[in-house]
Amino acid sequence: MHSSCFFLFLIPGCFYLSTLAPSIGYQDTPEFVDTSFALSISHPSGFPAYNLISKVITFLPLGSIAFRVNLFSALFACLTLVILYLSIIRILELCFPKSTPESRELPAFLPSALLAFTSPFWSNSLIAEVYTLHSFFTSLIIYFLLSWKVKEDVRYLYLAALCFGLSAGNHGTVAFYLPAILILFFFWIKKEKIKNLGLTSLIFLVGFSVYLYLPIRSMAEPIIDWGNPETLQNFFDQVTDRRHADLHFSKLGKYSSEGVSQEIPSFGSEVLSIASKAGYVFWRLTEDLARQFTWLMVVGFLGGSVLCAKKNRPLFIFLFLITAVNAAFFVGWRKESYFPSYIVACLWAALFFYWIFYEKLSSSINNIANTEKNAQLKRTLRFSIGAISGACIFWLMISNYLQVDRSNNYFAETLLKKELLSVDDESILVTEISWFSMAYYLDVMRLRDDVALVKAADFIEADPASYLTPKRYPKLELPDRKKYQFGTREAAFNYMMQFFRDNTKSRPVLIEQNWLLFEEFPLAEELIPHKNLLLKFPLDNNKSLINAQDGFNEFKDWMEEEFRKPGFQRESKWIQKVAYFLISFANQFHASKNYDEEREVLKVLYDFLGHKGADWHLKMVDNLILDDKKKEARRLWKKMRKSFPDKFQTPLAEGLLLKSEKNYQAAINSFNRASNIEPDAFRPYIEKTYAWIVSGNRKETILSFNVANKKMKTLKDFKRIKRVKQFLETTQ
């Protein structure tokens, strides 16, 4: 047993170290490096347990801070494999009481080794992320609960309760384990149920108290202070991730009763809808297990679940609930979010492997009278099955070694470092796409202490002034919050513009190419190109001397430098990381009427990022029309009609073309078709309103305007609505 644990820790650990990201990557990884080192507030649900535990490893004298926090993930991935192995030993003891320690080793080793080399588990062992710690806690909770039953020692239950509380401080979705744990508790507890329930609840709260870290640390106003959880409401929203509530169980919505015949009674419709959703979740889970583990795991998962149900019904219900809720909640995401389901799959697969190795084969072969032949046949069959399992492990090991995404090794340490070093002295940098990376450079590396970093998303919060506080930004000019009635996008935009105007008098205000602000606010046209990824809020309105193309050309030069690096061409996923910057360039060029430059960006999106859908074609048609290239626009629209006949962008593009050719009634008909395909889209209605205006039909203009008014979603939409409203008021 000890040798198996050693190999499960050592061999995967060597592979993880050989592919470990040397520095910060993209998305959440620089955030977790920063929040671990600086003890800041991570995105919902805050992850206080992760930040406090990973803080310890930042004191090790091993490489950079980023490397140490990445190493933390690898360490807990290896520990997860060891604890999972020990948990499997426990479940085999429970379900097969007559099994020997030697007979339990191989069935416990195989699923654990398969998990070690699955692509999601391996990839999340190389970067600063919460998922290997999440897997560790899940395995540890299961281990303690199984030990409680096997050893008949209630102290293991108390340890499970403590781990459950701490685990909630790392990944809030462990709340889904609670019904499963309670079922196990009431089935397995023998006496003093109320006393033990109260005591385990108190011990859970001791672990869960780690969440007090959030409001306490938030009061210190760290650079990354996500959700500002200083008030009770903000704390609740942060812990429960209310902002992303619409994404939870995201893929199950379409599997509703609307596809069921209306002739079926409502109860029958509901039953069929639930069955459809359950079937979809089951299919997605088994398909994911087959892809990540090979079909060997699917067979083990299904066979082991049946065995578990026969051997120990409460344990089956416990593991089934963990799997079912996790698989349903993350059915639209899968990958690392499925780790709890992976762990249960390993437990059940081990039961099936043991049954095949030591019960099914034994009962079949024992009928052979020749004892020597009997033993030889058993050894041969076990070796054959073990060899097949080993081949699956070896296949995952080799194939995923070549396919592990190393794109996180690039990007932040190159492009973004260049960008930060290039900013003007004493500047204010407003950023969103690279927010986490810039926070890492300022918080951890102390690269530019003269730069004030402002998160763009803070300006679209319900109360921007609660994030832009004098304590956090003592050297900046902050508008008087009493002058603003926050709660609307317009108030937030006005506050942001006043912030820019007040500060640009004394410091350069630089805005990184920012798709979020440009989608929400009519901001892009207010800025002037500066250099590379940076735009500048001007001191005056003179923009005539600025070459809009220079910054984009510098950005392209940087990307070409990256492409020339040895081995970089194999990291095809890296180019996807810069997509939002390119989209932002396109938006900014469009808003500032630099149509030649916008087309160049759109061509880069088409050629290098594969943005070849209906939305890209609509943008290009729109660009060509505005640049008075109507023949080219019509040729492209004809291509849209063939490639995207059912997309709303196709009749919308046709309407824009017809409107530019002053064929207003035909344009209106096209806009009607677009709105019929996509009833919630704002643009078909506002474009139809413009068409009615130029055709001179005031009654239809008002009707269309009223519908468009209900469909607007952003302040850019509101600005267009406001212009139409002013026109209608002046022409009464």
Q: What is the mean pLDDT of residues 166-188?
A: 92
Better-predicted residue by pLDDT, 639 or 253: 639
Query: Is it true that the peptide bond before 337 is cis, omega within 30 degrees of 0?
Result: no
Element (H, E) at 536: strand 534-536
Percent of the chain with pLDDT over 90: 56
pLDDT band at 259 (very low <50, low <70, confident <90, very high): very low
What pLDDT was estimated at residue 707? 92
pLDDT band at 272 (very low <50, low <70, confident <90, very high): low
- State yes or no: pLDDT of 543 exceeds 70: no
Q: Per residue in 558-614, pLDDT tens?
A: 877 777 766 555 555 666 667 888 899 999 899 888 999 999 999 988 887 788 899
Write the DSSP symbol of residue 117. T
CA distance 16 to 115: 13
Write the DSSP symbol of residue 531. E
This prediction has a pTM of: 0.85
CA distance 594 to 353: 65
Q: Quick check: 212 and 165 in contact, CB under 8 A?
A: no
Q: Quick check: 360 and 148 in contact, CB under 8 A?
A: no
CA–chain centroid gap for 391, Å, is 32
What pLDDT was estimated at residue 190? 82
Integer angstrom CA distances of residue 512 from 516, 522, 527: 11, 15, 11
Q: Per residue in 432-477, pLDDT tens?
A: 888 888 999 999 999 999 999 999 999 988 889 988 999 889 999 9
For residue 89, give every residue at least 6 positions away whose Cβ sits within 8 Å of its Cβ, in sequence order, or none.
1, 104, 108
Better-predicted residue by pLDDT, 1 or 388: 388
Write b or e for each residue in 9-46: b if 16 or more Cβ atoms lie within 10 A of its Cβ, otherwise e: bebbbebbeebbbebbbbebbbbbbbbbbbbbbbbbbb
CA distance 267 to 271: 6
Torsion of CA 246, 247, 248, 254, to 10 degrees: 90
CA distance 116 to 98: 29
Q: Quick check: 36 and 58 in contact, CB under 8 A?
A: yes
